[in-house]
Structure 1
Amino acid sequence: MEESGGDDSGGRDEISLLAEELIQLSVKESMVVPSGKPTLICTIWTEKFYNPESFKAQMRSIWKTRKNFEILNAGQNLFLIEFDLDEDLEAIMEGRPWLFRKSVILFDRFTKSIERA
């Protein structure tokens, strides 16, 4: 990705669209159903192997939230992040872009059941 100064809102639109496409591609067999808590679905934009537990540990250490959150595996390179407070979810979304090992983490709100293809 290129770095640029000034207004980067166009880049955010591109990342958002890319996030939606990658999340749709990452979903595999069976249903993933929202829990009712404020939830994000995310994937890491990388082809490199990584330890999912390492990802979870890093996010727990860098995200400063008022209440607890839980990171759940939802498939290969796909995670659900359930928050106790909607304000914490909003803070994480506003803090984007987030990186894990120099790879961007793509997020979207998880509001409806999806079937893994």
Structure 2
Amino acid sequence: MDPDFLDRIQCISLTAEEKADIVVKQSHREKTLEECSLSLLGQLLTDKPYNQKAAKNLFRSVWKLGNDLKIIGVGNGVYQFRFKLESQLRWVVENGPWSFNNHLLVALRWEKGMSAQNITFPSISLWVQLWGLPFDLLNAEAAEDIGSSLGRVVSVDQTALSSDQPRFLQVHVEIPLNQPLRRRGPVVCPEGERAWVEFRYEHIDGLCFS
């Protein structure tokens, strides 16, 4: 690009009219806020073109929501998923991750101020199985401690713990996308003994271990 053109662009200053606040009226705002509060913003982890209509139909089908779910493209490859009920939104979040053609869907719950221009997806929510732990570490506290080494712990699955003979722990973690997934790691017991835990991630086609 012509350097002189860039210099001219940088010299442009806003007029008084351009700096003036534009006040938005409150009509219909409550309805809009209600719709947004039951929304997820999501994006598929891919740089390749894909069939957007097919992707929308797949999510409607897999989530079994039909017309209860509105999927709106808001730009920059970001979609707004609008649900009718809080329970529907929570079910989708808790049972992910989801994918289309092996492209993982990363999603965030809507917050005020979000737009297609400023939204980022720093992490992905995954269920991680913890295998190989000593029997005396098969408890929820250990699952949370180990899960926190991977990212922010959302919850610990109590189902495996309530079984007669649990073989592994399962923890729901928000894992940063800017770091590779760990395959295993050393765990130090309260008495100082060391054991190795194997991490098995559920539904992770397209994520990187290196």
| TM-score of the superposed pair, with normalisation by structure 2 | 0.37
Offset, 1:35: 4.2
Offset, 1:83: 0.4
Q: Distance in 2 between matches of 1:59 and 1:112?
A: 25
What secondary structure sits across from 2:34 in the alignment?
coil
**Match for residue 82 of structure 2?**
82
- Preserved contact between residue 55 and residue 100 of structure 1 (Cα < 8 Å): yes
Q: Which runs of 4+ in 1 moved over 6 A?
A: none
**Match for residue 40 of structure 2?**
40
Q: Distance in 1 between matches of 2:47 and 2:67?
A: 32
Offset, 1:67: 7.7
Map 1:1-80 onto structure 2 (within 5 A). Answer: 35-37=33-35, 38-65=38-65, 68-80=68-80
Q: Structure 1, unaligned stretches of length 5 or more? A: 1-33
- Preserved contact between residue 67 and residue 83 of structure 1 (Cα < 8 Å): no
What secondary structure sits across from 1:114 in the alignment?
coil
Specify which structure has the bigger relative contact order, considering alpha-carbon pairs within 8 angstroms and separated by 6 or more residues. 1
Counterpart code for 1:36? E
| TM-score of the superposed pair, with normalisation by structure 1 | 0.65
The count of aligned residue pairs is 85
**Match for residue 98 of structure 1?**
98
Offset, 1:42: 0.1
**Match for residue 13 of structure 1?**
none
For the pair shown, the structure with the greater C-alpha radius of gyration is: 2
**Match for residue 108 of structure 1?**
108
Q: Distance in 2 between matches of 1:54 and 1:65?
A: 15
Q: Structure 2, unaligned stretches of length 5 or more? A: 1-31, 119-210
- Preserved contact between residue 39 and residue 111 of structure 1 (Cα < 8 Å): no
Say which is worse superposed, 84-93 or 105-114, in terms of deviation.
105-114
Counterpart code for 2:113? S
